[in-house]
């Protein structure tokens, strides 16, 4: 946990961009349009990947926008002051991004026809990715050690709160026709099929060539080369590229090279305890 953060309704947010005022506006006053598409995640679950996929789908596979406009301008983080202004000026249909837990998501969404795409990932890989990201992303605060971060993550003492609460909160809305759940693992396993599924959810008809373009331009390699989404354009005070790489490994199961046997057992116990009421079958299922 960094020394400084913004706290809003018991959830801690990185400071610098977020403020209590901007979060209040996002929750209570944000004007949701019926054709808005929200890209929602817990951190390190594939947020930026999904921005690329959705942005490409909305542009019928044409990569020009993805290659020429920063992702934060294409899919603004509307919980920040700057993101709110960008979102306000965007033409419809808007693509919007956030890590908000469901209980503080814009109230107006629940009275609208807007859509949410919620991406979730094996929490052990989220933890590892979050640990490395916190080393390079200054507002997140450098972790004292992997073990310290491991414990903070399990206790929900990290920015954006507990992974377990975020996931169980959002999954309560499963079954609603305007909310689409997908896993990072599914994207990895079958990106083309996932894109086709997303197109159906969004009511977009893309031909084979357009879908191929989405898949190619949203590949890890293509994104690594694209400065509009690989985070290299961020200032050093925000993202220290000497301390890591945002598009780090992009694989499933990296936790196996980080967790000790004891940590793995500890994680499984915590997972079973915190997720016991959930009937959902995930591609990972620790324990």
Instruction: Name which position in 33, 135, 197, 248 contacts ligand A3P (CB under 6 A).
Output: 248
Instruction: Name which position in 220, 233, 260, 280 contacts ligand A3P (CB under 6 A).
Output: 220
Instruction: Name which position in 93, 169, 250, 283 contacts ligand A3P (CB under 6 A).
Output: 250
Q: Which residue has the tokens 């107006």?
A: 108
- Span from 40-48, 90-98, 152-160, 272-280 in contact with ligand A3P (CB under 6 A): 40-48
Q: Does 63 bind ligand A3P (CB under 6 A)?
A: no
CA–CA distances in Å: residue 62 to residues 87, 215, 235, 259: 22, 11, 28, 40
| String marking each residue 152-191 x if it binds ligand A3P according to CB under 6 A | ----------------------------------------
- Span from 27-35, 43-51, 71-79, 192-200 in contact with ligand A3P (CB under 6 A): 43-51
Q: Which residue has the tokens 């000026």?
A: 89
Handedness of CA 216, 218, 224, 225 (dihedral sign): positive
Pick between residue 112 and residue 219 the one whose CB is nearest to ligand A3P. Answer: 219
Task: Please answer whether residues 59 and 91 qualify as being in contact, where contact means their C-beta atoms are separated by less than 8 angstroms.
Answer: no
The reply to whether 99 belongs to the active site is yes
Beta strands in the chain (DSSP E): 5-8, 11-14, 37-41, 95-98, 115-120, 179-183
With CB under 6 A, what is the number of residues at the site for ligand A3P? 20
CA distance 176 to 76: 24
Q: Catalytic residue numbers?
A: 99
């Amino acid at each position: 946990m960094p020394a400084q953060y913004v706290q809003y309704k018991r959830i801690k947010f990185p400071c610098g961009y977020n403020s209590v005022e901007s979060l209040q506006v996002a929750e209570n006053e944000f004007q949701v349009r019926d054709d808005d598409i929200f890209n929602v995640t817990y951190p390190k679950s594939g947020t930026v990947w999904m921005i690329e996929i959705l942005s490409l789908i909305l542009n019928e596979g044409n990569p020009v926008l993805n290659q020429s406009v920063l992702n934060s301008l294409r899919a603004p983080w509307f919980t920040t002051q700057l993101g709110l202004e960008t979102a306000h000026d965007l033409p419809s249909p808007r693509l919007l991004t956030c890590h908000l837990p469901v209980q503080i998501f814009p109230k107006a969404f629940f009275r609208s026809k807007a859509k949410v795409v919620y991406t979730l990932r094996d929490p052990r890989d989220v933890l590892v990715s979050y640990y490395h990201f916190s080393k390079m992303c200054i507002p997140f605060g450098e972790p004292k050690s992997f073990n310290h971060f491991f414990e903070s993550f399990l206790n929900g003492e990290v920015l954006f709160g507990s992974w377990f609460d975020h996931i169980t909160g959002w999954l309560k809305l499963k079954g609603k026709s305007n909310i689409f759940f997908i896993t990072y693992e599914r994207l990895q396993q079958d990106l083309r099929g996932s894109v086709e599924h997303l197109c159906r959810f969004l009511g977009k008809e893309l031909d084979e060539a357009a879908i191929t373009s989405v898949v190619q331009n949203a590949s890890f390699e293509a994104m690594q080369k694209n400065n509009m989404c690989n985070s290299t354009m961020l200032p050093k005070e925000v993202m220290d590229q000497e301390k890591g790489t945002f598009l780090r490994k992009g694989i499933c199961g990296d936790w196996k090279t980080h967790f000790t046997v004891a940590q793995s057992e500890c994680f499984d116990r915590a997972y079973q305890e915190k997720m016991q009421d959930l009937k959902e079958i995930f591609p990972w299922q620790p324990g």
